[in-house]
Protein backbone atom coordinates (compact mmCIF):
# COMPACT_ATOMS: atom_id res chain seq x y z
CA UNK A 1 0.00 0.00 0.00
CA UNK A 2 1.16 3.55 -0.65
CA UNK A 3 1.26 6.34 1.89
CA UNK A 4 -2.24 7.32 0.65
CA UNK A 5 -3.37 3.72 0.90
CA UNK A 6 -3.71 3.22 -2.85
CA UNK A 7 -2.69 -0.37 -3.61
CA UNK A 8 0.27 -0.65 -5.92
CA UNK A 9 -0.09 -2.89 -8.94
CA UNK A 10 1.48 -6.35 -8.72
CA UNK A 11 4.42 -7.27 -10.93
CA UNK A 12 5.57 -10.71 -12.03
CA UNK A 13 9.21 -10.80 -13.03
CA UNK A 14 10.95 -13.61 -14.90
CA UNK A 15 14.72 -13.50 -14.66
CA UNK A 16 16.87 -12.62 -11.69
CA UNK A 17 20.23 -12.09 -13.30
CA UNK A 18 22.20 -8.94 -12.58
CA UNK A 19 19.60 -6.79 -14.32
CA UNK A 20 16.46 -8.62 -13.20
CA UNK A 21 17.54 -8.57 -9.55
CA UNK A 22 18.21 -4.82 -9.73
CA UNK A 23 14.76 -4.23 -11.26
CA UNK A 24 13.12 -6.45 -8.66
CA UNK A 25 14.55 -4.50 -5.74
CA UNK A 26 13.12 -1.19 -6.98
CA UNK A 27 9.59 -2.59 -7.24
CA UNK A 28 9.87 -4.11 -3.80
CA UNK A 29 11.21 -0.87 -2.36
CA UNK A 30 8.32 1.03 -3.96
CA UNK A 31 5.80 -1.33 -2.37
CA UNK A 32 4.67 -3.27 -5.44
CA UNK A 33 3.70 -6.87 -4.69
CA UNK A 34 6.33 -8.81 -6.60
CA UNK A 35 6.34 -12.42 -7.76
CA UNK A 36 9.63 -13.64 -9.16
CA UNK A 37 10.83 -16.68 -11.02
CA UNK A 38 14.34 -17.68 -12.02
CA UNK A 39 15.53 -20.83 -13.77
CA UNK A 40 18.10 -21.34 -11.03
CA UNK A 41 15.97 -21.05 -7.87
CA UNK A 42 18.87 -20.16 -5.55
CA UNK A 43 19.07 -16.73 -7.17
CA UNK A 44 15.62 -15.90 -5.79
CA UNK A 45 16.49 -16.55 -2.16
CA UNK A 46 17.82 -13.08 -1.33
CA UNK A 47 14.76 -11.47 -2.91
CA UNK A 48 12.42 -13.75 -0.97
CA UNK A 49 14.04 -12.45 2.20
CA UNK A 50 13.35 -8.92 0.96
CA UNK A 51 9.65 -9.60 0.44
CA UNK A 52 9.27 -11.10 -3.03
CA UNK A 53 7.01 -14.07 -3.54
CA UNK A 54 8.94 -16.82 -5.30
CA UNK A 55 7.09 -18.86 -7.92
CA UNK A 56 8.28 -22.38 -8.58
CA UNK A 57 7.68 -22.16 -12.31
CA UNK A 58 7.48 -19.50 -15.00
CA UNK A 59 3.83 -20.45 -15.50
CA UNK A 60 3.07 -19.84 -11.82
CA UNK A 61 4.79 -16.44 -11.92
CA UNK A 62 2.82 -15.46 -15.02
CA UNK A 63 -0.44 -16.65 -13.45
CA UNK A 64 0.24 -14.50 -10.35
CA UNK A 65 -0.36 -11.14 -12.00
CA UNK A 66 -1.48 -9.15 -15.02
CA UNK A 67 1.83 -7.44 -15.67
CA UNK A 68 4.62 -9.84 -16.58
CA UNK A 69 8.10 -8.40 -17.03
CA UNK A 70 10.70 -10.65 -18.63
CA UNK A 71 14.42 -9.96 -18.32
CA UNK A 72 16.29 -13.04 -19.50
CA UNK A 73 19.54 -13.55 -21.34
CA UNK A 74 18.32 -13.58 -24.93
CA UNK A 75 15.29 -14.24 -27.13
CA UNK A 76 15.88 -17.99 -27.08
CA UNK A 77 15.70 -18.05 -23.27
CA UNK A 78 12.43 -16.11 -23.42
CA UNK A 79 11.01 -18.70 -25.81
CA UNK A 80 12.06 -21.60 -23.63
CA UNK A 81 10.92 -20.00 -20.35
CA UNK A 82 7.47 -19.15 -21.72
CA UNK A 83 6.99 -22.29 -23.80
CA UNK A 84 3.50 -23.64 -23.12
CA UNK A 85 2.70 -20.91 -20.54
CA UNK A 86 -0.83 -19.47 -20.66
CA UNK A 87 -0.46 -15.81 -21.65
CA UNK A 88 -4.13 -15.04 -22.31
CA UNK A 89 -5.02 -11.59 -21.01
CA UNK A 90 -1.48 -10.84 -19.81
CA UNK A 91 0.52 -7.69 -20.36
CA UNK A 92 3.92 -8.97 -21.42
CA UNK A 93 6.83 -6.53 -21.19
CA UNK A 94 10.02 -8.03 -22.56
CA UNK A 95 13.18 -6.22 -21.44
CA UNK A 96 15.49 -8.91 -22.82
CA UNK A 97 17.99 -7.58 -25.35
CA UNK A 98 17.13 -8.86 -28.84
CA UNK A 99 17.33 -7.83 -32.47
CA UNK A 100 14.47 -5.77 -33.94
CA UNK A 101 13.40 -8.82 -35.98
CA UNK A 102 13.31 -11.02 -32.88
CA UNK A 103 11.26 -8.38 -31.05
CA UNK A 104 8.73 -8.21 -33.91
CA UNK A 105 8.46 -11.99 -34.04
CA UNK A 106 8.10 -12.17 -30.25
CA UNK A 107 5.34 -9.55 -30.38
CA UNK A 108 3.38 -11.61 -32.94
CA UNK A 109 4.04 -14.73 -30.90
CA UNK A 110 2.68 -13.06 -27.74
CA UNK A 111 -0.35 -11.61 -29.50
CA UNK A 112 -1.20 -15.01 -31.01
CA UNK A 113 -1.25 -16.28 -27.41
CA UNK A 114 -3.69 -13.58 -26.30
CA UNK A 115 -1.22 -11.19 -24.62
CA UNK A 116 -0.55 -7.50 -25.15
CA UNK A 117 3.13 -6.93 -25.85
CA UNK A 118 5.66 -4.23 -25.19
CA UNK A 119 9.32 -4.60 -26.00
CA UNK A 120 12.07 -2.81 -24.11
CA UNK A 121 15.72 -1.98 -24.62
CA UNK A 122 17.51 -1.10 -21.42
CA UNK A 123 19.89 1.86 -21.67
CA UNK A 124 21.41 1.36 -18.26
CA UNK A 125 23.64 -1.00 -16.31
CA UNK A 126 22.42 -2.56 -13.06
CA UNK A 127 23.96 0.06 -10.70
CA UNK A 128 21.92 2.74 -12.53
CA UNK A 129 18.63 0.97 -11.78
CA UNK A 130 16.70 2.75 -9.03
CA UNK A 131 19.05 5.76 -9.24
CA UNK A 132 17.14 8.41 -11.23
CA UNK A 133 20.06 10.85 -11.24
CA UNK A 134 22.18 8.23 -13.09
CA UNK A 135 20.15 9.02 -16.22
CA UNK A 136 19.35 5.48 -17.33
CA UNK A 137 16.15 4.65 -19.14
CA UNK A 138 14.40 1.95 -21.15
CA UNK A 139 13.29 2.35 -24.75
CA UNK A 140 9.79 0.91 -25.17
CA UNK A 141 7.96 0.02 -28.36
CA UNK A 142 4.86 -1.94 -29.24
CA UNK A 143 1.38 -1.42 -27.86
CA UNK A 144 1.02 2.29 -27.00
CA UNK A 145 -2.12 1.52 -25.05
CA UNK A 146 -0.21 -0.94 -22.89
CA UNK A 147 2.66 1.50 -22.41
CA UNK A 148 0.30 4.28 -21.30
CA UNK A 149 -1.52 1.96 -18.95
CA UNK A 150 1.63 0.58 -17.33
CA UNK A 151 4.03 3.49 -17.58
CA UNK A 152 3.88 4.44 -13.89
CA UNK A 153 4.92 1.01 -12.70
CA UNK A 154 7.46 0.65 -15.52
CA UNK A 155 9.01 3.97 -14.51
CA UNK A 156 9.75 2.76 -10.98
CA UNK A 157 13.17 1.20 -11.74
CA UNK A 158 14.39 3.58 -14.44
CA UNK A 159 13.12 6.22 -16.90
CA UNK A 160 10.93 5.36 -19.87
CA UNK A 161 11.19 6.43 -23.50
CA UNK A 162 8.42 5.22 -25.83
CA UNK A 163 9.61 5.13 -29.45
CA UNK A 164 6.69 3.76 -31.43
CA UNK A 165 4.15 1.07 -32.20
CA UNK A 166 6.60 -1.05 -34.19
CA UNK A 167 7.72 -3.59 -31.58
CA UNK A 168 11.17 -3.68 -33.17
CA UNK A 169 11.85 0.01 -32.55
CA UNK A 170 13.03 -0.31 -28.94
CA UNK A 171 15.68 -2.84 -29.99
CA UNK A 172 16.53 -0.72 -33.03
CA UNK A 173 17.11 2.40 -30.92
CA UNK A 174 19.00 0.38 -28.33
CA UNK A 175 21.35 -1.17 -30.89
CA UNK A 176 21.77 2.13 -32.76
CA UNK A 177 22.95 3.95 -29.64
CA UNK A 178 25.21 1.10 -28.57
CA UNK A 179 26.66 0.87 -32.09
CA UNK A 180 27.55 4.56 -31.89
CA UNK A 181 29.13 3.86 -28.53
CA UNK A 182 31.31 1.12 -30.01
CA UNK A 183 32.39 3.44 -32.80
CA UNK A 184 33.41 5.94 -30.15
CA UNK A 185 35.23 3.24 -28.18
CA UNK A 186 37.10 2.29 -31.35
CA UNK A 187 38.35 5.85 -31.70
CA UNK A 188 39.23 5.97 -28.03
CA UNK A 189 41.25 2.74 -28.35
CA UNK A 190 43.18 4.22 -31.27
CA UNK A 191 43.85 7.47 -29.40
CA UNK A 192 45.11 5.66 -26.30
CA UNK A 193 47.29 3.40 -28.46
CA UNK A 194 48.93 6.47 -30.01
CA UNK A 195 49.75 8.12 -26.70
CA UNK A 196 50.69 4.84 -25.06
CA UNK A 197 53.42 4.27 -27.62
CA UNK A 198 54.77 7.74 -26.85
CA UNK A 199 54.62 7.15 -23.10
CA UNK A 200 52.14 9.96 -22.47
CA UNK A 201 50.44 9.52 -19.09
CA UNK A 202 47.02 8.06 -20.00
CA UNK A 203 45.50 9.53 -16.86
CA UNK A 204 46.61 13.01 -17.86
CA UNK A 205 45.39 12.40 -21.42
CA UNK A 206 41.94 11.08 -20.46
CA UNK A 207 40.30 14.42 -19.52
CA UNK A 208 41.50 15.95 -22.78
CA UNK A 209 39.96 13.06 -24.67
CA UNK A 210 36.67 13.08 -22.75
CA UNK A 211 36.25 16.84 -23.13
CA UNK A 212 36.99 16.72 -26.86
CA UNK A 213 34.51 13.90 -27.48
CA UNK A 214 31.88 15.84 -25.53
CA UNK A 215 32.60 18.95 -27.60
CA UNK A 216 32.21 16.96 -30.84
CA UNK A 217 29.05 15.09 -29.82
CA UNK A 218 26.57 17.88 -30.68
CA UNK A 219 27.58 17.51 -34.34
CA UNK A 220 25.02 14.70 -34.47
CA UNK A 221 22.32 17.39 -34.56
CA UNK A 222 23.78 18.87 -37.75
CA UNK A 223 24.01 15.39 -39.28
CA UNK A 224 20.36 14.77 -38.38
CA UNK A 225 19.22 18.09 -39.85
CA UNK A 226 21.10 17.35 -43.08
CA UNK A 227 19.66 13.83 -43.32
CA UNK A 228 16.19 15.25 -42.83
CA UNK A 229 16.55 18.02 -45.41
CA UNK A 230 18.56 15.93 -47.88
CA UNK A 231 20.98 18.85 -48.25
CA UNK A 232 24.38 17.81 -46.91
CA UNK A 233 26.04 21.12 -47.73
CA UNK A 234 24.18 23.36 -45.28
CA UNK A 235 26.02 24.41 -42.14
CA UNK A 236 29.19 22.57 -43.14
CA UNK A 237 32.09 23.45 -40.88
CA UNK A 238 34.84 21.14 -42.17
CA UNK A 239 34.08 19.91 -45.66
CA UNK A 240 34.68 16.38 -46.87
CA UNK A 241 37.42 17.36 -49.37
CA UNK A 242 39.47 18.93 -46.58
CA UNK A 243 38.86 16.01 -44.25
CA UNK A 244 39.84 13.39 -46.84
CA UNK A 245 42.97 15.42 -47.61
CA UNK A 246 43.83 15.10 -43.91
CA UNK A 247 43.47 11.34 -43.68
CA UNK A 248 47.04 10.53 -44.84
CA UNK A 249 48.26 12.49 -41.82
CA UNK A 250 46.34 10.19 -39.50
CA UNK A 251 47.53 7.06 -41.29
CA UNK A 252 51.13 8.26 -41.44
CA UNK A 253 51.03 9.17 -37.75
CA UNK A 254 49.76 5.72 -36.87
CA UNK A 255 52.44 4.14 -39.05
CA UNK A 256 55.17 6.39 -37.66
CA UNK A 257 54.17 5.77 -34.06
CA UNK A 258 53.91 2.01 -34.48
CA UNK A 259 50.13 1.79 -34.13
CA UNK A 260 47.79 -0.21 -36.35
CA UNK A 261 45.30 1.93 -38.26
CA UNK A 262 42.85 -0.96 -38.63
CA UNK A 263 40.11 0.83 -36.71
CA UNK A 264 40.41 4.07 -38.66
CA UNK A 265 40.90 2.76 -42.18
CA UNK A 266 37.36 1.50 -42.94
CA UNK A 267 35.85 4.87 -42.07
CA UNK A 268 38.45 6.74 -44.10
CA UNK A 269 37.67 4.47 -47.06
CA UNK A 270 34.00 5.40 -46.86
CA UNK A 271 34.89 9.10 -46.71
CA UNK A 272 37.02 8.65 -49.85
CA UNK A 273 34.20 6.81 -51.66
CA UNK A 274 31.80 9.61 -50.89
CA UNK A 275 34.30 12.22 -52.03
CA UNK A 276 34.69 10.32 -55.30
CA UNK A 277 31.00 10.95 -56.04
CA UNK A 278 31.79 14.67 -56.27
CA UNK A 279 30.68 15.48 -52.73
CA UNK A 280 33.70 17.47 -51.57
CA UNK A 281 31.63 20.40 -50.31
CA UNK A 282 29.48 18.22 -48.10
CA UNK A 283 29.78 17.29 -44.47
CA UNK A 284 30.46 13.66 -43.48
CA UNK A 285 26.73 12.92 -43.66
CA UNK A 286 26.95 11.18 -47.06
CA UNK A 287 28.74 8.26 -45.40
CA UNK A 288 25.38 7.30 -43.89
CA UNK A 289 23.98 6.68 -47.37
CA UNK A 290 26.95 4.52 -48.33
CA UNK A 291 26.12 2.18 -45.47
CA UNK A 292 22.56 1.56 -46.68
CA UNK A 293 22.33 -1.71 -48.56
P1 LIG B 1 22.57 -12.37 -16.49
O2 LIG B 1 23.51 -13.19 -17.30
O3 LIG B 1 23.04 -11.82 -15.18
O4 LIG B 1 21.24 -13.20 -16.23
C5 LIG B 1 20.64 -13.94 -17.27
C6 LIG B 1 19.28 -14.38 -16.83
O7 LIG B 1 18.69 -15.16 -17.89
C8 LIG B 1 19.31 -15.29 -15.60
O9 LIG B 1 18.12 -15.07 -14.88
C10 LIG B 1 19.36 -16.68 -16.24
O11 LIG B 1 18.88 -17.67 -15.38
C12 LIG B 1 18.37 -16.45 -17.37
N13 LIG B 1 18.46 -17.44 -18.42
C14 LIG B 1 19.48 -17.65 -19.28
N15 LIG B 1 19.18 -18.63 -20.14
C16 LIG B 1 17.94 -19.07 -19.80
C17 LIG B 1 17.09 -20.08 -20.32
N18 LIG B 1 17.44 -20.81 -21.37
N19 LIG B 1 15.89 -20.24 -19.74
C20 LIG B 1 15.51 -19.48 -18.68
N21 LIG B 1 16.29 -18.51 -18.13
C22 LIG B 1 17.49 -18.32 -18.71
O23 LIG B 1 22.09 -11.19 -17.45
P24 LIG B 1 21.50 -9.75 -17.05
O25 LIG B 1 20.52 -9.90 -15.97
O26 LIG B 1 22.64 -8.81 -16.88
O27 LIG B 1 20.81 -9.37 -18.41
C28 LIG B 1 19.47 -9.70 -18.69
C29 LIG B 1 19.05 -8.96 -19.94
O30 LIG B 1 19.21 -7.56 -19.71
C31 LIG B 1 19.91 -9.33 -21.16
O32 LIG B 1 19.11 -9.43 -22.30
C33 LIG B 1 20.87 -8.16 -21.24
O34 LIG B 1 21.32 -7.93 -22.56
C35 LIG B 1 20.00 -7.01 -20.74
N36 LIG B 1 20.80 -5.88 -20.28
C37 LIG B 1 21.76 -6.10 -19.33
C38 LIG B 1 22.58 -5.06 -18.97
C39 LIG B 1 23.66 -5.25 -17.96
O40 LIG B 1 24.54 -4.38 -17.87
N41 LIG B 1 23.65 -6.32 -17.17
C42 LIG B 1 22.46 -3.73 -19.58
C43 LIG B 1 21.36 -3.60 -20.52
C44 LIG B 1 20.59 -4.66 -20.87
P45 LIG B 1 19.89 -18.52 -14.46
O46 LIG B 1 20.09 -17.70 -13.22
O47 LIG B 1 19.18 -19.79 -14.25
O48 LIG B 1 21.17 -18.69 -15.26
- What's the per-residue H, E or C state across 105-129? HHHHHHHHCCCEEEEEEEECCHHHC
Residue 22 pLDDT grade (very low, low, confident, very high; cuts 50, 70, 90): very high
Confidence at residue 2, expressed as pLDDT on a 0 to 100 scale: 45
- The answer on pLDDT for 7 being more than 90 is no
- Sheet of 53-54: strands edge to edge? 53-54, 34-37, 11-14, 67-70, 91-94, 116-123, 137-142, 159-162
Phi first, then psi, for residue 39 (nearest 5°) are: -55, -45
Average pLDDT over residues 178-192: 97
- Nearest residue CA, atom 2 of ligand 1? 17
- The answer on pLDDT for 148 being more than 90 is yes
> Mind listing the pLDDT tens digit for each residue in 193-207?
999 989 899 999 999
Spatial CA neighbour of 15 closest among 128, 104, 109, 97:
97
Confidence at residue 60, expressed as pLDDT on a 0 to 100 scale: 98
Average pLDDT over residues 256-261: 97
Ligand 1: centre distance to CA 71 (Å)? 6
Average pLDDT over residues 241-262: 97
- Nearest residue CA, atom 41 of ligand 1? 19
In terms of Cβ atoms closer than 10 Å to its own Cβ (0-12, 13-18, 19+), residue 158 is buried
* Cα dihedral: 47, 138, 102, 82 (round 10): 20
Ligand 1: centre distance to CA 202 (Å)? 34
- Nearest residue CA, atom 14 of ligand 1? 73
Lowest mean per-residue pLDDT among 5-9, 89-93, 184-188, 289-293: 5-9
Spatial CA neighbour of 140 closest among 162, 169, 157, 167:
162
User: Could you tell me if the CB of 72 is within 6 A of ligand 1?
Assistant: yes
- The answer on pLDDT for 3 being more than 60 is no
Domain boundaries along the sequence of the chain: 3-172, 218-291
CATH class of 3-172: alpha beta
Ligand 1: centre distance to CA 39 (Å)? 10
Ligand 1: centre distance to CA 124 (Å)? 14
Spatial CA neighbour of 72 closest among 29, 102, 51:
102
Confidence at residue 5, expressed as pLDDT on a 0 to 100 scale: 61
Residue 74 alpha carbon, nearest atom of ligand 1: 32
> Mind listing the pLDDT tens digit for each residue in 128-144?
999 999 999 999 999 99
Entry pTM: 0.93
Confidence at residue 4, expressed as pLDDT on a 0 to 100 scale: 53
Average pLDDT over residues 91-96: 98
CB atoms within 10 A of CB 291: 7
- The answer on pLDDT for 228 being more than 90 is yes
Counting residues of the chain whose pLDDT is more than 90, the rounded percentage is 96
d(CA 28, CA 129) in angstroms, rounded, equals 13
Pick the CATH number of 218-291 from 2.60.40.10, 3.30.360.10, 3.40.50.150, 1.10.1040.10: 1.10.1040.10
Ligand 1: centre distance to CA 111 (Å)? 23
The helix/strand/coil state of 5 is: coil
> Mind listing the pLDDT tens digit for each residue in 44-66?
999 999 999 999 999 999 999 99
Amino acid sequence: MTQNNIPKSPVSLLGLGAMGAALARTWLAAGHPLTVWNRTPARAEALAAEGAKVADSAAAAVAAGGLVVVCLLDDESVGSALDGVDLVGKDLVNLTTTTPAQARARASWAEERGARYLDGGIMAVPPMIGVPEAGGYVFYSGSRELFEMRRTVLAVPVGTEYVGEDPGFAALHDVALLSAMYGMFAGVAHAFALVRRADVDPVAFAPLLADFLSAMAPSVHRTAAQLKSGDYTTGVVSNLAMQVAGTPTFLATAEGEGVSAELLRPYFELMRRRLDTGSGQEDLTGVVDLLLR
